[in-house]
Amino acid sequence: MVEREMELPVRVVQITDTHLFRDPRAALLKLNTQDSFEKVMELVIQNESGIDVVLGTGDIAQDASREAYLRFAQAMQPLNAPFYWIPGNHDRRQVMETLTPFEHAFSNLVTFGKWQIVLLDSSVAGEVHGRLHERELQHLERTLRAVPRHPEVEHVLVCLHHNPVDGSAGWMSGIGLHNQEEFLAIIERHACVRAVLYGHIHQELDFERQGVRYLCTPSTCIQFKPQVQDFTLDDVNPAYRTLLLQPDGRIDTQVVRVTGHAFEVDHTSTGY
């Protein structure tokens, strides 16, 4: 439990899909992911102050290397805020867990005044798609059920890597959360859930479903074009997201993109 002024918003920064490699010179579809990550982090440092929490919502590493996780964790240090991460399809939780100085980053529930942030592991070893294990669903259900009895908490933000609602591009069908019905049923049964936050499909989305806001955040590297049939990269720049979790349950959020720099990507690629 983090003690804080109840009337202040919780300032969240989300960094997602960094896809870092063991070799910082390596590229994903011609884009150097270390370079684009650093440009996004420079922007965070320049723009944001008083951050309460940083959320790294998966695909931290492209090659599940310890070196990549370490560089991500070290890059969080100047922000002077706790960071939490969840694995994506490219990550390996067992490797992330070997970084003992950053053990705290695997908390699956954090509380800031009137807000709770639930972090769910939707990764399935060796698969691109996601699935919430029974243990994760139970953690979510238990947490949400306890909120009405909590002396302070009124609002919940739920985070996972995979998209729990189908992406808009044809090629994305099948790569999202496979047991989305079970997940959405829990979300929609509990009135305390304000938003679901995710990454995975490398694009900006902000929509509402059954009174809950769904926020997808662009990657810090390559971007996927929405509303297409086949795999297509988008020309928009890497980004991060800020969220101000207001004490009354509202969320003010913004995607902030790198500007003034053109990133070269391989537009001929048919997948990643």
Minimum distance of Fe ion from residue 201's CB (angstroms): 8
Instruction: Decide: is 59 part of the binding site for Fe ion (CB under 5 A).
Output: yes
| Closer to Fe ion by Cβ: residue 113 or 164 | 164
Q: How far is the CB of 54 from Fe ion (least distance, A)?
A: 18
Cα dihedral 109, 14, 69, 234 sign: positive
Q: How many residues bind Fe ion (CB under 5 A)?
A: 2
91 binds Fe ion (CB under 5 A): no
Residue (155 or 202) nearer to Fe ion, CB: 202
Give the count of alpha carbons within 13 A of 200, CB side only: 31
* Residue among 134 and 230 whose Cβ is closer to Fe ion: 230
Nearer to Fe ion, 113 or 167 (CB): 167
Q: Cβ closer to Fe ion: 89 or 143?
A: 89
- Closest distance between Fe ion and the C-beta of residue 89, in Å? 7
Q: DSSP per residue over 53-91, as a string?
A: EEEE-S--BSS--HHHHHHHHHHHGGG-S-EEE---TT-
Judging by beta carbons within 10 Å of its beta carbon (0-12, 13-18, 19+), is residue 238 exposed, middle or buried?
Answer: buried
| Closest to 59 in 3D by CA, of 224, 256, 226, 262 | 224
Binding letters toward Fe ion, positions 10-29, x by CB under 5 A: -------x------------
105: left (phi over 0), alpha (psi -120 to 50) or beta: alpha
Q: Which stretch binds Fe ion (CB under 5 A): 52-60, 177-185, 203-211, 239-247?
A: 52-60
**Nearest distance from C-beta of residue 246 to Fe ion, angstroms:** 29
| CA-based R_g, the chain, Å | 17
d(CA 198, CA 211): 17
Taking the least distance from each CB to Fe ion, the nearer of 124 and 147 is: 124
∠ Cα 265 270 272 (to 5°): 70
CB 244 within 8 A of CB 253: yes
Query: Measured from the CB of residue 65, what is the shortest distance to Fe ion in angstroms?
Result: 16
Piece of 2-10, 51-59, 100-108, 178-186 that binds Fe ion (CB under 5 A)? 51-59
Per CB under 5 A, residues contacting Fe ion are: 17, 59
